[in-house]
Structure 1
Amino acid sequence: MKKWKKILLTVLIGIVVVMVGGVAYLKTQTYAPTERAQQTAEKGESSRDWLYFPSNDKTKPMIIFYPGALVDPESYSLWAQTVAKAGYPVYILKMPLDLAVLAPNRGEKVLSEHPDRDYVLGGHSLGGVMASRFAKEHPDKLAGMFFLASYPDEKGSLAGTEIPILSLTGENDKVLNRETYQKAKEDLPKSTDYQEIAGGNHAGFGAYGAQKGDGTSTIDNQNQQVAERLLAWLTEKVE
């Protein structure tokens, strides 16, 4: 084998090893759902692209949700099931390596299956940033948007929109960058509904245990509060 071919082969092997190692490392860093969340997820409908909690009510908008970075979609099943039972079908999107930044337009697959149905978009942490960009590019049929410990960036600025928007945060959240969060209010309409869950933290918007760098939650029903606040907002502002 010629010298240049050996060098090329060595480089390619090195790249493959790094990629495989990187994927393996990310897998070890992914936050898995709690046992209760996993059991609840089994009651939904799972496919390659999403975890779906259906509803027989055809009059209410569907919800498309972007998970936080490195958080298993099943972790959001507790509040998602409650919201679906109230009439809002919920699609929790599945992302490559559990990173929404790798598939920011994954929501298009849901819209393509329901072209005539209104939808509400939501996201947790980095998922909310990606969701805001999707919202800006897909305004048709968008009935509202909610952020869970998240905010839009400049590419997903919604300052000029008239849709109802809910921003939910946790009092003890130590993961959310508060300075960036405050600045991001410039990219949201003045009518945005800002709510804080007393005693809540960043990980409490899902059910996947403690998150590195997060504050301690002093409540044990944050997922229930998320569902209740979402439903109250949906009923009052979106329908």
Structure 2
Amino acid sequence: MLLFIFQSCSYFPEDFDRDETPSLTETIKYIKIGDQGSKALIFYPGGLVDPFAYVNMLSAVAGDDVVVFIPKVPYNLAILNINHAEEIKKAFPDIKEWSVGGHSLGGAVACFVINDHPSEYENLFLLAAYPSESTDLKSFEGTSIVLFGSNDGVADLEKLINSRDQFNNPVDVEDIDFIEKTASTSFFYQIEGGNHGNFGNYGFQKGDRESTITREEQQSTSILIMSKILAQ
């Protein structure tokens, strides 16, 4: 019964065609995008969001020596398997550089990963996400990117903005050209007109606000920034 309740509350992917992502492989533990590479991004899904809802966006991030892993988590709740990133890393010892990130609740879980293993990751990517009050990211010497939409109706934007004090050297930017891979620096960028659910492909999320830009525009900005950092 509990499993049925969680499944009935989950958000399932829209606009997904497996045949359009030939580099996609799937196991019972993760979705992998990309054949091989020396760099990898582990991206935790948002709470109750099917991991395939992020394939479209993250397929554009993979490639050019970057592999992307989307963990499959119990009941689509990343908080139930915080150590999933470490399990993936152990399975791919040939990958030299690791980054972690996530959307919404998945981003909070990515912060736990950085809190516990600050020296093992190069970059942290948070989409409409922020760390819990008990999470300390000041010892992280990599680059942190925090992206959020001005029309987000799900994430607590006040808490997100106030979480700056938990990051190493937080910097607010209004132009993405100023975002660079910089050690011990955290960039905060607001996507004007973006909302919460447009970071994935799963339809409109309950409680969210309408976006004034398209989902493609919001994701294009996210892809550009993540790809730029991963390539450096």
Q: TM-score range by the shorter chain?
A: 0.7 to 0.9
Residue 220 of structure 2 is aligned to residue 224 of structure 1? yes
In structure 1, what is the equivalent of residue 209 of structure 2?
A: 215
Structure 2 unmatched ranges of 5 or more: 170-184
* Preserved contact between residue 176 and residue 202 of structure 1 (Cα < 8 Å): yes
- Aligned-pair distance for 1:41? 5.9
SS at match of 1:156: coil
SS at match of 1:65: strand
Structure 1 residue runs of 4 or more that deviate by more than 6 Å after TM superposition: none
Please report the RMSD computed on the Cα atoms of aligned residues, expressed in angstroms.
Answer: 1.8
Q: Could you tell me which of 2, 5, 10 is aligned with 1:30? A: 10
Aligned residues: 214
In structure 2, what is the equivalent of residue 8 of structure 1?
A: none
* Preserved contact between residue 73 and residue 80 of structure 2 (Cα < 8 Å): yes
Distance 1:92 1:115 in 2: 17
Output the TM-score relative to the length of structure 2. 0.85
Percent identity for Structure 1 against Structure 2: 31
In structure 2, what is the equivalent of residue 115 of structure 1?
A: 93
Distance 1:198 1:52 in 2: 31
Output the TM-score relative to the length of structure 1. 0.83
Distance 1:42 1:32 in 2: 21
Which residues of 2 match residues 87-98 of structure 1 at below 5 A? 87-98=65-76
Residue 112 of structure 2 is aligned to residue 133 of structure 1? yes
Q: Could you tell me which of 136, 145, 148 is aligned with 1:166? A: 145
Distance 1:64 1:156 in 2: 19
Larger radius of gyration: 1
Residue 186 of structure 2 is aligned to residue 192 of structure 1? yes
Larger proportion of strand? 2
Larger proportion of helix? 1
- Aligned-pair distance for 1:57? 3.6
* Preserved contact between residue 40 and residue 81 of structure 1 (Cα < 8 Å): no
SS at match of 2:61: helix
Deviates more, 1:85-94 or 1:153-162: 153-162
The verdict on how the C-alpha distance between 1:194 and 1:80 changes in structure 2, with shifts beyond 3 A counting, is: same
- Aligned-pair distance for 1:141? 3.0
* Preserved contact between residue 66 and residue 230 of structure 2 (Cα < 8 Å): no
In structure 1, what is the equivalent of residue 176 of structure 2?
A: none
* Preserved contact between residue 23 and residue 35 of structure 2 (Cα < 8 Å): no
Distance 1:215 1:39 in 2: 32
Distance 1:39 1:209 in 2: 21
Distance 2:54 2:190 in 1: 19
The verdict on how the C-alpha distance between 1:140 and 1:111 changes in structure 2, with shifts beyond 3 A counting, is: farther
* Preserved contact between residue 134 and residue 156 of structure 1 (Cα < 8 Å): no
Distance 1:111 1:139 in 2: 14
